[in-house]
Amino acid sequence: MAEGTLCNKKPITTKEALKALMADRAGKKYYQEMNELEVDQKALAAALEKTCLARFRTWLEICAHCGMCADSCFFYLANDKDPTQVPSYKIQTTLKEMVRRKGKVDNAFMQMTMDTAWSKCTCCNRCALYCPFGIDMGVMFSYVRGLCFSQGFVPWEMKIGSGMHRIYRAQMDVDTEDWVDTVAFEAEGIDEEYPGMTIPVDKENADIMYTLNAREAKH
């Protein structure tokens, strides 16, 4: 893959690369370039061999296709019980197939897997509670996402989000200074209603740690 492309196997590490990616409206160029990505089958096979087989082989092999996990998945329910949205179907057609082919998969397969891993599973882990064996698609799809990312098959928004984490340490472009200012601003407002109340940041030995979605800080 040539240097300077928007869609490649490398993570975003510079502000320039991040800006270029964000300027690509709706990821139009990014997704066009994705069609040209070559799967590094050797690297994929090595990754599967190293971690996946040891961790997930049992789960992938013992699935009895009983379908008890189906109703636990809101994608299945929200899509008129579409059988392709059954948790076990989703993992069998992606990760298990990848393992079966020992990483020898093509671009179209990786794009299908990417779509499944991000658009058909939120990694909520709910199906694991319903499966008699405790097979957890959420855990496996988290891993599949990593595999896809390492090969450059990652949704445009997620590539931007991960780049923001690397560069700004927050996916909403909120840096530490902004965050501390925002907290101080909010604390002033709170003080009117609850005199003396403060919002400590990075307080050592605190009894409670409160974290929040970066979107709340941003907006």
Q: Specify the residue for token string 């013992």.
A: 62
Stretch that binds ligand SF4, among 24-32, 94-102, 133-141, 201-209 (CB under 6 A): 133-141
**20-25, long-range: CB < 8 A, 24+ apart:** 21/156, 21/159, 21/160, 21/163, 22/160, 24/156
Task: Decide: is 46 part of the binding site for ligand SF4 (CB under 6 A).
Answer: no
Give the nearer residue to ligand SF4 in terms of CB position, either 137 or 160: 137
158 CB burial (10 A radius; 0-12, 13-18, 19+) = middle
Site string for ligand SF4, 78-117 (x = CB under 6 A): ---------xx-x---------------------------
State both tokens at 198: 């403060």
Task: Decide: is 68 part of the binding site for ligand SF4 (CB under 6 A).
Answer: yes
Task: Decide: is 127 part of the binding site for ligand SF4 (CB under 6 A).
Answer: yes
Task: Decide: is 142 part of the binding site for ligand SF4 (CB under 6 A).
Answer: no
Give the nearer residue to ligand SF4 in terms of CB position, either 30 or 89: 89
Query: Which residues have CB under 8 Å from 183's CB, separation 6+?
Result: 199, 201
User: Is the Cα torsion angle 124, 50, 115, 76 positive or negative in sign?
Assistant: negative
Stretch that binds ligand SF4, among 102-110, 132-140, 156-164, 185-193 (CB under 6 A): 132-140
Give the nearer residue to ligand SF4 in terms of CB position, either 30 or 149: 149
Task: Decide: is 200 part of the binding site for ligand SF4 (CB under 6 A).
Answer: no
The total of other beta-carbon atoms located within 10 Å of residue 138's CB is: 16
User: Please, are residues 190 and 199 in contact by the beta-carbon 8 Å criterion?
Assistant: yes
Site string for ligand SF4, 13-42 (x = CB under 6 A): ------------------------------
Count residues near ligand SF4 (CB under 6 A): 26
Q: What is the smallest separation between the CB atom of 24 and ligand SF4, expressed in angstroms?
A: 28
DSSP 27-53: GHHHHHHHTTPPP-HHHHHHHIIIIIH
The residues of the shown chain that bind ligand SF4, judged by CB under 6 A, are 63-69, 72-73, 75, 87-88, 90, 121-127, 131, 133, 135, 137-138, 141
